[in-house]
Chain A
Amino acid sequence: MVVSEAEATDPAITPTRRGLLGMIGTGVAGLALGGAGGAAVTAAALAGTGADGSSGSVVPFHGAHQAGIVTPAQDRLHFASFRMVRGATRDDLIALLQDWTAAAEQLCRGEALGTGIESEDPLLPPDDTGEAEGLHAGHLTLTFGLGHQLFTGEEDDADPFGIRAKLPDTFTPLPSFAFDLLEATQSGGDLCVQACADDPQIAVHAIRNLARIAIGRAHLSWSQLGFGRTSSTSRDQETPRNLFGFKDGTMNIMSDERAALDAHVWVGGSAPEWMRGGTYLVARKILMTIETWDRTSLLEQERVFGRTKRTGGPATGGGEFEQPDFTATNAAGEPTIDIAAHVRLAHPDQNGGARILRRGYNYVDGSNGLGQMGGGLFFISFQRDPAMFVRVQQSLKPDLLNEYIRHIGSGLWAVPRGIAQGEFVAQALFE
């Protein structure tokens, strides 16, 4: 049995059974190679090869920032929101985050949890649920966030986990936005986990096992599967298309734009220590009235976006990455890019220069009883201040696109800074 240093020296932190089981693998890996840089190498070695046959399918879990933010966007998502169970204590929360951290380290290396798909005693269920066996790491990233209620209680009048004093000033709940049709059953949550991977089975396996580990302390509140990333976070990736068939997120911040990331994404030095180098995650479940859109003329579709459907270039000409000319007018003297076109209203120029890092996914939750596709965009963005998202979203009030979408789910979480070797998620919050 190997217990990491941080856990061994903090008397407030008591490993649980699941936590200990989860740590077995961590310890072995740590012993085998040790060092912060060792994890990826170890994982690749243990996993044999990556999902693509190479040894490159591990994304390091540890670092200054959490993985899954500027990591080149994987194609698959399983996003989960959890609520702490009634009566859960500070120790419960700490233990959960420790257990999740230990499990995440293994999952991201492509390892099975605990005893793996078999159990020590055939009368026991196996520690790992097993469906990702043999699939390797698949570029899995797990990104953890903390909800506002975790600091304040549901009525904003409590301090259930003794962390209220460390609530950042900028961390305020999102306001209501025009045309929101939010469903409480798909909104909010005390904790979130964003799992991204090349293979949906790997992402689902991660969330499933984290939910299992949480039992008794936190309960899965809602979750969302996504596919077909709708944003690029690297210039090496082609800009993907959303379910409207348009290229989306062309203006996104890319992972190599270090200055832009510092200016717009990473929380800076004035924040509480646990958030420095962290960010805020906004998730919005946006239903598209797909059938209505599909009956809309190309002229109208392109007017709504202010971009051409084929190339993604702005209506004022040029290729995809050409800057739109918002002052151009057509023969009739009207703006070439409609005053309420999506590209105009969402553009940084219209939002005081605010840029956000988008990392959204398409989703289809089957169809409803009326034969309508239950699909749309599971929008995820990262920004150093929730107010930056609020500003952009408020400026989208007259967006022509609103005719064809409904915001039906919403959430905001603080994503703590990256996890160092031997630390657990948000450890600084409890010190």
Chain B
Amino acid sequence: MTITHPRRRVGQTLTALATLAGATIALTGCVPNAAPDAESIAVTASDTDCAVETAEATSGTVTFTVQNDGSTVNEFYVLGANKLTIIGEVENIAPGASRDLTVQVGPGDYFTNCKPGMIGAGVGQAPFVVNGEAVETSQEDDAVIAQYIGYVKSQTEELVPQVQEFVDAYQAGDDEEAKRLFPLVRISYERIEPTAEQFGDLDPKIDYRKPGALEEGIPFTGFHRIEQDLWLDAAIANYSTPEKDHYPKDDLVALTPEERAELGDQLVADITELKDKVAAPDFTLTLADITEGAKGLLDEVAAPDGKLPGEENEFGHTDLYDFYANVEGAQVAFDTVRPLAEANDASELVTELDERFADMFALLDEYGSYDAGFVFYDTVDETQRAELAASLSALSEPMSKLTAAVVK
């Protein structure tokens, strides 16, 4: 969390313009009515694998028939080339049951994935290639919104077990492992942060930084409280500067195992509550929520208390993970509304955003990756930070035009 302010509620006045999508709407990509004789691909889901009969298809309407041979309820996803955008999803496949997922797909690279237990990162992720002609899609607003809600849900489902693993290490006193997991566990959260911020009191508990919590008079908890405990020496040094002279120093002591237990348990509970709220039937978003959320993610990177100035993870200096995740989150939101923008004759804007995202990722890639690790942000000098800032601005500027291109 970077911005310690009342949440942007820009979508409110636009509500009437966008059809609300209830979570009860079946998430079937772009096709409300699939041809009954369409090509069908068998998928065998288990607790450990996700076997798709063929890894290729021809563009157009494609149906997956998913058989759950595992012991737990399962989900099946078709993901975009970035492995994050959800093209289609079918959930609640009981053990022994079979359900169909029908999607309309153009040529390109995709991924398939199962999620046994409907939680975690999933199993058996595999590439899936679509060849053939481009397809004309008639994207509906509510289908786009449902698609994005599905993505938000999937991110929170990944988050819960990751946070549990992180908290386990922290509570067990395995500081090295907890420090290693800290930036990784935040990825899914940072991708969907604007959504989390819609639940007014959850984000402050999960992701407030120390100054925000102090000044708002709420307990300092969540990721950054644990960060302060894990990197205590850095925290003490940081709060010894003249600029931060007026902050209380009494919390700059190592937490006891009991305090760690309480703090960690609360984070798990808060994240679980987030997952449940996102999954609730009455959870809805508007198109403007999605597009403004994308802009908001980029704004948070650039904020005075954000990642670009290195304030987000002021003790651990793992800001580049958050930076990358924020940009990914913005890209998924953009990707989800892309067909609407194209249908509204905003192809130039779409092309520009594609190029800017590519440039931004290319530059970030120079600093590492989730798998290999990003360099610590305190080693990124002023010239490099300015270069990152310039690339981010180049992306943010056209992003400010996306809402107008999508909401008609």
A binds B: yes
Residues of A within 8 A of B (CB): 176-185, 187, 287, 289, 291-292, 295-297, 299-300, 303, 331-332, 334, 338, 340, 368-372, 397-400, 402-403, 406
Chain B residues near A334: list those with CB within 8 A.
12-13
Mask: chain B, 212-235; 1 = CB below 8 Å from A; 0 = not = 101111000000000000000000
Cβ of B215 and Cβ of A184 under 8 Å apart?
no
Cβ of B215 and Cβ of A178 under 8 Å apart?
yes
Q: B73-81, B83-91, B180-188, B383-391: which lies at the A interface?
A: B383-391
Most buried by A among B246, B309, B404: B246
CA distance A102 to B9 in the complex (A): 54
Q: Nearest residue in B to A295 (C-beta to C-beta)?
A: B400
Chain A residues near B211: list those with CB within 8 A.
180-181
Cβ of B16 and Cβ of A332 under 8 Å apart?
yes
CA distance A292 to B389 in the complex (A): 13
Cβ of B215 and Cβ of A406 under 8 Å apart?
no
Q: Nearest residue in B to A398 (C-beta to C-beta)?
A: B6
Q: Nearest residue in B to A299 (C-beta to C-beta)?
A: B13
CA distance A399 to B6 in the complex (A): 7
Cβ of B13 and Cβ of A295 under 8 Å apart?
no
Q: Which of B241-260 contact A (CB under 8 A)?
A: 242-246
Chain A residues near B302: list those with CB within 8 A.
289, 291-292, 370, 372
Residues of B within 8 A of A (CB-CB), count: 42
Residues of B within 8 A of A (CB): 3-6, 8-10, 12-13, 15-16, 211-212, 214-217, 242-246, 295, 299, 302-305, 308-309, 382, 385-386, 389-390, 393, 396-397, 399-400, 403-404
The contact sample of 25 A-B pairs, CB cut-off 8 A, is A177-B215, A178-B216, A179-B215, A180-B211, A180-B215, A182-B246, A184-B243, A184-B245, A187-B246, A287-B304, A289-B303, A292-B299, A295-B397, A297-B403, A303-B13, A331-B16, A334-B12, A334-B13, A370-B302, A370-B309, A371-B386, A371-B393, A372-B302, A403-B6, A403-B8
Cβ of A178 and Cβ of B385 under 8 Å apart?
no
CA distance A416 to B344 in the complex (A): 63
**Contact check: which of B4, B12, B308, B396 meets A179 at CB < 8 Å?**
B4
Cβ of B5 and Cβ of A176 under 8 Å apart?
no
Most buried by B among A182, A187, A292: A292
CA distance A128 to B398 in the complex (A): 53
Q: A291-B302, A295-B397, A370-B302 are in contact. List 9 more A-B contacts (CB 8 A).
A: A177-B215, A179-B5, A180-B211, A184-B244, A185-B242, A295-B295, A303-B10, A370-B309, A402-B5
Chain B residues near A297: list those with CB within 8 A.
10, 400, 403-404
**Known contacts A179-B212, A292-B299, A370-B386; is A402 also within 8 Å of B6 by CB?**
yes
Cβ of A291 and Cβ of B396 under 8 Å apart?
yes
CA distance A299 to B5 in the complex (A): 19
Chain A residues near B386: list those with CB within 8 A.
369-371
Cβ of A371 and Cβ of B390 under 8 Å apart?
yes
Q: Nearest residue in B to A331 (C-beta to C-beta)?
A: B16
CA distance A185 to B245 in the complex (A): 9
CA distance A279 to B3 in the complex (A): 35
CA distance A345 to B396 in the complex (A): 30
B-side interface mostly: helix
Most buried by B among A177, A180, A296, A297: A297
Q: How far is the CB of B62 from chain A (nearest CB, A)?
A: 37
Cβ of B215 and Cβ of A371 under 8 Å apart?
no
CA distance A324 to B274 in the complex (A): 38
**Known contacts A292-B299, A371-B390; is A184 also within 8 Å of B13 by CB?**
no
Q: How far is the CB of A222 from chain B (nearest CB, A)?
A: 11
Chain A residues near B4: list those with CB within 8 A.
179
**Contact check: which of B299, B385, B397 meets A289 at CB < 8 Å?**
B299
**Contact check: which of B6, B216, B245, B393 meets A291 at CB < 8 Å?**
B393
Chain B residues near A182: list those with CB within 8 A.
246
CA distance A368 to B295 in the complex (A): 22
**Contact check: which of A177, A332, A371, A403 meets B5 at CB < 8 Å?**
A403
Q: Nearest residue in A to B4 (C-beta to C-beta)?
A: A179
Q: How far is the CB of A80 from chain B (nearest CB, A)?
A: 19
Q: How far is the CB of A179 from chain B (nearest CB, A)?
A: 6
Chain B residues near A403: list those with CB within 8 A.
3, 5-6, 8
Q: Nearest residue in A to B388 (C-beta to C-beta)?
A: A370
Cβ of B389 and Cβ of A372 under 8 Å apart?
yes
Cβ of B16 and Cβ of A295 under 8 Å apart?
no
CA distance A369 to B390 in the complex (A): 11
Chain B residues near A184: list those with CB within 8 A.
242-246
CA distance A181 to B3 in the complex (A): 11
Chain A residues near B3: list those with CB within 8 A.
403
Q: Nearest residue in A to B3 (C-beta to C-beta)?
A: A403
Q: Nearest residue in B to A300 (C-beta to C-beta)?
A: B10
CA distance A176 to B216 in the complex (A): 9
CA distance A292 to B295 in the complex (A): 9
Q: Nearest residue in B to A296 (C-beta to C-beta)?
A: B400
Q: How far is the CB of B77 from chain A (nearest CB, A)?
A: 32
Q: Nearest residue in A to B7 (C-beta to C-beta)?
A: A403
Cβ of A292 and Cβ of B245 under 8 Å apart?
no
CA distance A397 to B211 in the complex (A): 15
Q: How far is the CB of B290 from chain A (nearest CB, A)?
A: 15
CA distance A291 to B397 in the complex (A): 9
CA distance A178 to B211 in the complex (A): 10
CA distance A292 to B397 in the complex (A): 9
CA distance A297 to B13 in the complex (A): 12
Q: How far is the CB of B162 from chain A (nearest CB, A)?
A: 29
Cβ of B390 and Cβ of A332 under 8 Å apart?
no
Chain A residues near B304: list those with CB within 8 A.
181, 287, 289, 372, 406
Q: How far is the CB of B244 from chain A (nearest CB, A)?
A: 7
Cβ of B382 and Cβ of A369 under 8 Å apart?
yes
**Contact check: which of B9, B212, B385, B399 meets A295 at CB < 8 Å?**
B399
CA distance A178 to B216 in the complex (A): 5
**Known contacts A295-B400, A371-B386; is A332 also within 8 Å of B15 by CB?**
yes
Most buried by B among A187, A303, A331, A406: A406
**Known contacts A178-B217, A295-B299; is A371 also within 8 Å of B6 by CB?**
no
CA distance A404 to B137 in the complex (A): 38
Q: How far is the CB of B238 from chain A (nearest CB, A)?
A: 14
Chain A residues near B403: list those with CB within 8 A.
297
CA distance A294 to B181 in the complex (A): 36
CA distance A228 to B217 in the complex (A): 35
Q: Nearest residue in B to A292 (C-beta to C-beta)?
A: B299
Q: How far is the CB of A155 from chain B (nearest CB, A)?
A: 14
CA distance A141 to B304 in the complex (A): 34
Chain A residues near B15: list those with CB within 8 A.
332
Q: Nearest residue in A to B300 (C-beta to C-beta)?
A: A292
CA distance A338 to B12 in the complex (A): 10
Most buried by A among B6, B305, B396: B6
Q: Nearest residue in B to A402 (C-beta to C-beta)?
A: B5
Chain B residues near A177: list those with CB within 8 A.
215
